[in-house]
Amino acid sequence: MSIAKLGAVVVDCPDPVALGRFYAELLGGEIEDDGEGWVDLKGVPGAPLAFQLSPGHVPPKWPSPEESQQFHLDVTVEDMDAAEEQVLAIGATVLDAADRKRSWRVYADPAGHPFCLCAC
């Protein structure tokens, strides 16, 4: 028996609308902006995502043994190369794609949060 259920994964960022749009392009769904620094991503299977205004947001450094990456999302894709092309087109940056034969590659969203494309 659990104590609670997960309500949402909330991501701090400097521009919740822009980051919400990025993840809507990546995962599907629609953003719902409350106009006060909070954006929900609606209509996506899995744990709900929300984006919260954080004016002092400092992106994680990846990889960095001295600092935490804070969190990262793993997203599953069918075609790694096609997905890479698409996420780069919507504003992601490559953090680690050195070993192109492995089943995952690491990128940063526009606010600097790491996420992995996984063909697992």
CATH number at residue 23: 3.30.720
Q: Which residues contact 94 (CB under 8 A, 6 or more apart)?
A: 84, 88, 105, 106, 107
Do 106 and 65 belong together in one domain?
yes
Domain boundary among 22, 37, 56: 56
Q: How far apart are CA 97 and CA 77, in angstroms?
A: 15
Tens digit of each residue's pLDDT, the chain (120 residues): 877 677 889 999 999 999 999 999 999 999 999 999 999 999 998 888 999 999 998 888 877 777 766 778 899 999 999 999 999 999 999 998 777 778 889 999 999 999 999 987
- The parent domain of residue 88 ranges over 58-120
- Residues 13, 70 contacting (CB under 8 angstroms): no
**R_g of the chain computed on alpha carbons:** 15
pTM: 0.85
